[in-house]
Structure 1
Amino acid sequence: MSDLKGFHYDAFISYRHSDIDSFVAQNLHKKLENFKLPKSVLPKVQNGKKKIERIFRDVDELPLSEDLSDPISKALQNSDYLITICTPRYPQSRWCMKEIEVFLQTHPRDHILVVLAEDEPDNSFPEILCYEDVKITDENGQIHVTRREIEPLAADTRGSNKKEMLKAMDIAVIKLCAAMFGLNYDDLKQRHREQKIRRLTAIFGSIGVAVLAFAIFATVMLIKISKQNVIITDQYNELQDSFAQAMAGVSDNLLTDGRRKDAAYAVRNVIPDDGEGKYNVNAVKALYNAMEVYKLSPIYSPSCTYDADSWLYYFGISCDQKYVFVNSGSKVYICDHDSGEVLDIIENDEGDTLSSAFCGNDGVIITDGEDAFYYSIGNKEKTDIELPEYSILYPADDGSMVVANSLDALCGIGSTGDVIFETDLASYFGDAYTSLTGISFEKDYVVCTFWSGEEMEVLFINPSNGEIEDSYTKSSDSEPCAKLSDDTLYTVTSNHDEDTGEWDADIVATNISKDKKIWKLTLEDLELTGGRFFSSDDYLFFQSVSEVMVIDLEEGNLLKRYPYSQMILESWLEDDPDYGPLLYYVLTDGSVFCCNENFQSEQTDTFYTKAPKEKITQATYSGSNLYFVLGYESYAVRYSKEKTPSATAFDEDLDWDQAVDLLPEDVFDDDKYDINFTQVDHVYYSDDKNYIFAIFSDHTAKIYDASTCECVNSFETTLEMADIFRYSDLTGSYIISGSDGGDNKSFILDANMQIICETDFIISEEGNDFIMMSDDIEYYKVPYIDINALIKMSDEYLKDYKPPVSIRDKYGIS
């Protein structure tokens, strides 16, 4: 869990980590953060809040410490409200009860909001919420403590199935928000009542037209009805705009959760087919963002999802990146890599858990522990194969083979599903219990690292016949790691001194062909468990569970150690043109770092277009793509850094008019501008002098009509300065290009000077194309896509697609 110090939360959700409880907590969390107050009730909100900004929900089930210094206690102290998800399991949790006690130490009791998720209140509400101790002074002046029954403020989300529960949550959210915003329940429920009133008004208006059409005052009444219809139409349009605004927020959340196609789906349905009509600018902006129309910079963004119908055990990618499988236990889904389309589902009829691994480019090995078969994706045929019972499958990165390991044997399967070899481990190890802790597929060997609990043994197995051609042994009290590079074997072992209680770790380089130790690095007071080696010409990188080390390859000297408080899920080596070899790695919170022998650097902000918020539980780097499973979701996500396919390289000379940074007093010299000059960081005229663009010190920017002095747009921004502010003949409006320090960006404005697209840096235009620059200073020509073209592009992308039911229910899209 990340450091929560200094965070303030609108609410803390307390719940048991079981199926129903977690389902209600997770969906209430989403619905509360997506809830927006109707404009009609905003004046009644005393604290001035417009929406719920941040809610704390512990996804890891961390316990509280007794001294209240842990992250959970701090989150409780920094939360305005406590929302308890009450089921019969909730009062039985010691930690849930502790959360209530800690919250009451710093908050009034009426800031605890109860959600009844299952059963009846008598069975689900904890006693601490139903009674309170009160002091009473009798006639003799004696003080007595007595218990008084109280009725907590409760919302009901119960239902016979999850669909009914989700429906009930919509009403529960209104009740919870009413309490949190200090409003009456009817204040928020009013918008539902207004919808009914508008429908009734429309009905009675129609009847009135029919009846009064024959009356003397028909003309007068028609005028009144016409005015009424205008009001109703305006209210309907306002409602439609509010819904589109909400869907823009949902689209943003879907992108954060890795679901790009669903992000496009959510906003496409709220944008009129005629791009020239009235539209919500944030919905259009969200669709441009989801479609990645002008993406040029080499930044990772979600490209595709691979869905199952329940949470994933793991996933795999074929070596040619043509297919992906997702394994949900008793089902294996074979998906097209580029589109995510499910091509086939292999299911165990008895519900047994299946193990699976890609074998070659067109096959998958699948076993239920007893029976196994090779599945050909091309013709969907299954061929039975003999594998050791309850084997664990290890695929080679190049798809050349899969090794199946059981306690007694290793079995090698070729790329077409044929068994190549079987190695008898029982005869080699005897009665000693050993487990396979690592395997790598090298040029001449399959290198297998075994551990008995006290000793590491590395076996060098001939991949053509399964014979053990060499071995290497070293004592180890912790799970070891080994890597063969040419003739050099790198190993990591850790040993525990029972007398002192201390651990020492050894990293050793050994020349296998000469059976000679090259160097040994001993790290005192350290236990290393598992890990991976990466080597460059001069350096050896070792990535353990939560630490990275950089070692001099020739001498074995430790150059740098980079420890982390989270688990490292995936790592890979890249050659940087400026810094040489860099090791990149991803932590469980999605943060990305890189390091070498001189420095480490967090890359998260520049690595993703939108970093994931959910905890990452699985990660794989393959072919310049990153694949994640976020939380305990039922899908895997592919992140790629591909630029938009319509971009072509541009290498001609460039010339553009630089926007001139002016003094505020030279621009805002009219009394009509109510501006404090000291708060203006930069100010510019558009190239035609029709508009003024100002950047303020509070990270807001404003656009003014130079002729009327009216502010036509105001928005929050990270932009620090503008390089270009010009009228575009191509778009029929204006473009602003500038820098926010490290990154360059552009805003495309519509005819009303509202931002409809934020993209990479636009320099100029040529014909129907933009000339653009990426963050790595590469130049491209990209076709201009107006709103009508965007609609057409998204329709071709979505076709008949509809999000899975679980996603539609979770995010409230239809």
Structure 2
Amino acid sequence: MRYEAFISYKHGGIDEEVAVQVQKEIEKYRIPAKLAKKLGKKRIGRVFRDADELRASADLGTVIKEALDESEWLIVIASPRYVKSPWCLEEIEYFLKIRPRERIIVVLTEGEPEDSFPKILTYEEINGESVEIEPLAVDVRSETSAGVKKTVKAERLKFIASMLDVAFDDLRQRQRERRLRRISAAVAVVFLALSSVAAVIMKKNIELNNAYDALDNSMQQTLKGESYYLSEYADGAYMSGDINTAIKLSLKALPDDIFDPKRPYVTQSMRSLTRSLGIYDYTGGYKAGAYFEREDPSYDIRSSVSEDGKRIRIETYSYAAGNMLNREVKVCSLPDGNTICGYRLAPVSRTSDHPEACGSYLSKDGTRLTYIAEDGLKCVNVDTGEVIYTGRQASELIVGDKEGVTVSVDYALGKLNTYDAKGKEIISCDIGDDMNYTLGSISPGEGMVCLSANTEDVFGVITIDLATGQSGFVDMPGLCTYVRFIDDDRLCFLLSDETDGLKHIVKYSLSEGDQSYLCNADWDMSSMTLSDERVYYFHDNSVYEVSCNSEKGKILWEQVFSSAVISVKADDGVVSVSCQDGVTYFYEEDGKRRINIQQGNGEPVYLLSVDKRVAQARDFWGKSLRVYLRQDNTDREGVRIPLDNIITAEPEQWYTFETTGEDFALGLHNGIENRLAVFGEADFKLKSKASLSSLGVTSFDNISLSVYGDKSIGMQDYDDFRLAHYDIHNLKNVLDIRGYDYYYYDETGNNLCISYEGKLTVYDTSTGQKLDEQRFPDGYDRGVALGDIRVYGDDEHILIDDGSGEIRLDDAQLSAYDLAKKLVMYRSPNGEKWFAYSVGEKRVVCEGSSGTYANMTFFGENRYVMIDYGAVYDMNTWKKVLDVSALGNSVYGVKTTEKLPYFVVWCQENEQVGADRPTGSSVAYLYEKDGDGEIVGDIPGFVTMTSAGEIVVYDSERSLYRFGLHTPDELLRMARQKTGDEDLTDYQKEKYHIFDR
């Protein structure tokens, strides 16, 4: 075998770090002498890890399969992210075809086994039944990234023992014996050993340099494989919210010049670039706005954003000696992330630190930064660094909502100080150094501050009058955290009751001295969030809301999620929830309408704050900070149609419909209200609107609507077996048919042929006028009569009368008819094949295998036909030019023009598409006409495409937008303009395995 093992892992994050560490531990491991003699080798052998090997591959799939064929073992780096990667799962499936499952080792990096182990490894079909099995696994989970890698090193003998086919205890004993011999030998020949080590290092450096030279040479000729992986990294950065890096990675995967490429053009890379630019994404809600990343993990990250959303304060905590935390703060511009200023903060004890407390504050207008320096409180001008005022030494600070007062506390000295907006000290008082304190909040009127205080056996909340310094103490039976003012009289906090072992959310009135419990929890409630007079908390997969005006804590809202909830934040009319699977949800507080979802990259993030403009979250490791900005499309490219005169509230669901002409329609559902709005392409204005009930139906369920040309809208009501048409200008009914056996439209939708009770009737769909009526020839029960041609059919035959004689087609069922091209589309009676018959040429011009979903649609100025929502044929050449069958039953149609370089494939939402949009939305995928059949761009919120090739989208809120599509060359220019000359950092190049040539 060429490789001893193949490592299968999800690229990026801790998964990749573990994969690298496992590879190192295996390849550098030297087998103990006795065992090596028995096995006939001193080392285990090479390990295949794709980031190293696939850079030298032009054919990604081939090399993967060859590497698996040449690998004795498969090592799966398991995590919740791994099971979501189709590539990773395909690697397991292929390996199981060529090796027994006993040759698979699972390394659990994060999450629980049931969430992280692929089902294919935990279930096996035995005698026709699915039986649960336990794979060979090594648990390396830890609380930190460094801890995980340390555990890999400590547990390496477990997976090495399996690979050497020896007992773990036996190998561990041999390792101990070898270590003792090494220690003895090292003492005896220390100088000789040092000389030998130096020689080995020199030799290894030469080998490593030669390896890199060889790798670089091979990469020059295998850039296609690199582009695929850069695209995957770009998609990962995009899902993490690191948009700028995603664009840079996509650019590195693409040629500088589309027309004179120096590297292969990979469609997937262009799709990654298009998505990262967000050029076609007009959907509303919270979108990635900025991303900040550290090279090393931190203890915590805290942040806030100025009111105009243009500046952010980032406060970072890192471990220091003696149970202390080092702190630093910087202010950056948004969304570019450039640093404006930065300062070192005074260290703080981990014991007194609390996630809600801070050592700095950025003013709402973003011009002043107040922070705790090592020599005391300072307020500086963000832009110039000029010191505005100074104050006493402190540990943490808070500022009132009106910014009229600043409160700082020195926990070590037990001192509390307050300052007005100009920095003048208001009061300085002793609170004592015999208790542990955590700053809570300042009352809305800025007349009082509260702190959590406790000793080993005394717990409660201290309140201090900010004008007089007079204090009060609220005695409680346990530690109080998240202490907040509801108003100037009432407090709300989380109580860990020492007497009954429960957690309580407490509402306390200072004036009356009474309390009530809004929630009693027998689980370890770790946090709560107060927003105005609402309290949010979570447990397992659920989030709950209670009102501070409720005496018994009545639950006002409960929402269950598919993954465990890990954080909740609410403010300014918005509530946000993040879950263990990395997904973040945003809701309006009033009514709880879901605004949107951020899918994330599968790694959990913890919310820091949210308001109606911006949300912030950090990752588990404290390495990255994500900033989500509420989307504002008003200044973007394109034409906007506000829907305020149509929509009274954001819809719960919305619907789009097929069009054959220039007008288009939008369906809106909210509560019991269902409305239809029709728009004209020429002026992009509202043409007509009506409630759905006025059309004779109550909901959009089980009906099909289509816009035919610029004259009528057709509806098929499946419940009532009814066909109806409405004048597009006023939505008045012009045609209503309540009985039919078969019906056919021509390619324009202007003519409708109804087959019913032995008669063929032709209608003008715009007026409802009967154009023709005749009885079928004997034996026929369906057909079309358009122009001079008559086509009749039954279950097995078609009769064509073109005026010059009759043509009979056997084994044929009529499917569709194109009047302009004089084409009859039909199927074999068993439904397995389809045929295109030219009446003019009197022959079958094309045929093929039928798809799962029977449908034939003409489009693209009547040049193309889509067969069964899967294959697209050019009717000029009858060559298949596109296959979208992989999209399954989500496909609704395809659009293009002669000038447009793309096919626009319109899909309705399913589990794979549109998960971050309200139910009922749609998406379009772009395919290049001269491309490789892969998706090159995504258009969420797709409504229709105009006859000029412009796209119309709905933002899921209150606006429609119309814009043009860009060529790949234009997109490259836009990306370079956005990133400028800025390259990836050295840290990012190492992280994404990019080698400068």
Matched, 1:747 2:925: yes
Distance 1:437 1:567 in 2: 26
Give the aligned residue type for 1:649: R
Give the aligned residue type for 2:849: I
Does the 8 Å contact 1:412/1:466 carry over to 2? Answer: no
- What are the ranges of 5 or more consecutive residues in structure 2 without an aligned counterpart? 1-5, 25-47, 82-105, 123-133, 179-199, 317-325, 351-357, 643-684, 688-706, 714-746, 750-814, 817-824, 837-843, 911-918
Distance 1:458 1:284, change over 3 A: same
Distance 1:373 1:71, change over 3 A: same
Query: Shift in Å at residue 810 of structure 1?
Result: 0.6
Distance 1:265 1:384, change over 3 A: same
**1:32-65 deviations in whole A, cap 9, x for unaligned?**
7986954398289379899999732699xx9999
Distance 1:778 1:563, change over 3 A: closer
User: Could you say which residue in structure 1 is the equivalent of 2:952?
Assistant: 771
User: Could you say which residue in structure 1 is the equivalent of 2:545?
Assistant: 550
**1:402-425 deviations in whole A, cap 9, x for unaligned?**
432222122234455554443321
Distance 1:419 1:681, change over 3 A: farther
**1:429-477 deviations in whole A, cap 9, x for unaligned?**
xx751322632442243441323155554444444x3634765443325
User: Alignment partner for residue 259 of structure 1, among 223, 229, 242?
Assistant: 242
Distance 1:90 1:470 in 2: 44
User: Could you say which residue in structure 2 is the equivalent of 1:325?
Assistant: 313
SS at the partner of 2:486? strand
User: Could you say which residue in structure 2 is the equivalent of 1:375?
Assistant: 380
User: Could you say which residue in structure 1 is the equivalent of 2:96?
Assistant: none
Give the aligned residue type for 1:572: A
User: Could you say which residue in structure 2 is the equivalent of 1:303?
Assistant: 289
Query: Shift in Å at residue 364 of structure 1?
Result: 1.9
User: Could you say which residue in structure 1 is the equivalent of 2:59?
Assistant: 39
SS at the partner of 2:990? helix
**1:517-546 deviations in whole A, cap 9, x for unaligned?**
5x545737455455223355xx65445899
Give the aligned residue type for 1:759: I
Does the 8 Å contact 2:250/2:273 carry over to 1? Answer: yes
Matched, 1:245 2:418: no
- What are the ranges of 5 or more consecutive residues in structure 1 without an aligned counterpart? 1-8, 113-124, 133-158, 173-188, 197-235, 576-581
User: Alignment partner for residue 444 of structure 2, among 442, 445, 448?
Assistant: 442
User: Could you say which residue in structure 2 is the equivalent of 1:607?
Assistant: 597
Matched, 1:268 2:259: no
Matches within 5 A, 1:78-477: 101=158, 109=164, 239-276=222-259, 279-307=265-293, 310-312=296-298, 313-320=300-307, 321-328=309-316, 329=326, 331-346=328-343, 355-359=359-363, 361-382=366-387, 385-389=390-394, 391-396=395-400, 399-407=403-411, 408-415=414-421, 417-426=423-432, 432-436=434-438, 438-453=440-455, 454-463=457-466, 465=467, 467-468=469-470, 472-477=474-479
Distance 1:351 1:800 in 2: 40
Distance 2:107 2:437 in 1: 33
User: Alignment partner for residue 629 of structure 2, among 609, 618, 640?
Assistant: 640
Give the aligned residue type for 2:924: S
Distance 1:532 1:195, change over 3 A: closer
Distance 1:48 1:366, change over 3 A: same
SS at the partner of 1:790? helix
User: Could you say which residue in structure 1 is the equivalent of 2:834?
Assistant: 668
Distance 1:643 1:595 in 2: 17
Matched, 1:653 2:686: yes
Does the 8 Å contact 1:401/1:415 carry over to 2? Answer: yes
**1:694-724 deviations in whole A, cap 9, x for unaligned?**
577xxxx544444555443445765644444
Distance 1:462 1:100, change over 3 A: same
Does the 8 Å contact 2:409/2:417 carry over to 1? Answer: yes
Query: Shift in Å at residue 758 of structure 1?
Result: 1.0
Distance 2:285 2:854 in 1: 29
Does the 8 Å contact 1:451/1:479 carry over to 2? Answer: no
Distance 2:508 2:64 in 1: 74
Query: Shift in Å at residue 779 of structure 1?
Result: 0.8
Distance 2:160 2:708 in 1: 59
Matched, 1:585 2:577: yes
Does the 8 Å contact 2:486/2:532 carry over to 1? Answer: no
Distance 1:344 1:43 in 2: 49
**1:628-651 deviations in whole A, cap 9, x for unaligned?**
233436442212241552244225
Identity of aligned residues (%): 10
Distance 1:503 1:268 in 2: 56
Query: Shift in Å at residue 246 of structure 1?
Result: 3.2
Distance 1:50 1:571 in 2: 51
Matched, 1:757 2:919: no
Distance 2:981 2:60 in 1: 38
Distance 1:419 1:323 in 2: 28
Distance 1:543 1:194, change over 3 A: closer
Matched, 1:811 2:992: yes
SS at the partner of 1:443? coil
User: Could you say which residue in structure 2 is the equivalent of 1:531?
Assistant: 528
Query: Shift in Å at residue 744 of structure 1?
Result: 0.8
Query: Shift in Å at residue 585 of structure 1?
Result: 1.7
Does the 8 Å contact 1:12/1:79 carry over to 2? Answer: no
Does the 8 Å contact 1:573/1:584 carry over to 2? Answer: no
Distance 2:974 2:436 in 1: 56
Does the 8 Å contact 2:285/2:630 carry over to 1? Answer: yes
Does the 8 Å contact 1:695/1:720 carry over to 2? Answer: no
Distance 2:848 2:315 in 1: 61
SS at the partner of 1:650? strand
Distance 1:534 1:707, change over 3 A: same
SS at the partner of 2:249? helix
Query: Shift in Å at residue 325 of structure 1?
Result: 3.2
Does the 8 Å contact 1:359/1:400 carry over to 2? Answer: no
Distance 1:170 1:621 in 2: 52
SS at the partner of 2:292? strand
SS at the partner of 2:284? coil
Between stretches 714-723 and 796-805, larger displacement belongs to 714-723
Higher-RCO chain (CA-CA 8 Å, sequence separation at least 6): 1
Does the 8 Å contact 2:244/2:979 carry over to 1? Answer: yes
- Which protein has the bigger strand share? 2
Does the 8 Å contact 1:550/1:596 carry over to 2? Answer: no
SS at the partner of 2:956? coil
Distance 1:802 1:616, change over 3 A: same
Query: Shift in Å at residue 806 of structure 1?
Result: 0.8
Give the aligned residue type for 1:745: V
SS at the partner of 2:896? strand
Give the aligned residue type for 1:322: K
Does the 8 Å contact 1:656/1:764 carry over to 2? Answer: no
Distance 1:50 1:567 in 2: 43
Give the aligned residue type for 2:286: Y
Query: Shift in Å at residue 297 of structure 1?
Result: 0.8
Matches within 5 A, 1:491-506: 491-497=493-499, 502-506=500-504
Give the aligned residue type for 2:271: K
Query: Shift in Å at residue 625 of structure 1?
Result: 1.8
Give the aligned residue type for 2:625: A
- Say how many residue pairs are matched: 669
Distance 1:258 1:491, change over 3 A: closer
Distance 2:241 2:584 in 1: 16
Between stretches 295-304 and 42-51, larger displacement belongs to 42-51
Query: Shift in Å at residue 571 of structure 1?
Result: 1.3
Query: Shift in Å at residue 326 of structure 1?
Result: 3.0
Does the 8 Å contact 2:345/2:359 carry over to 1? Answer: no
Work out which of the two has the higher radius of gyration on C-alpha atoms and give 1 or 2.
2
Distance 1:597 1:617 in 2: 19
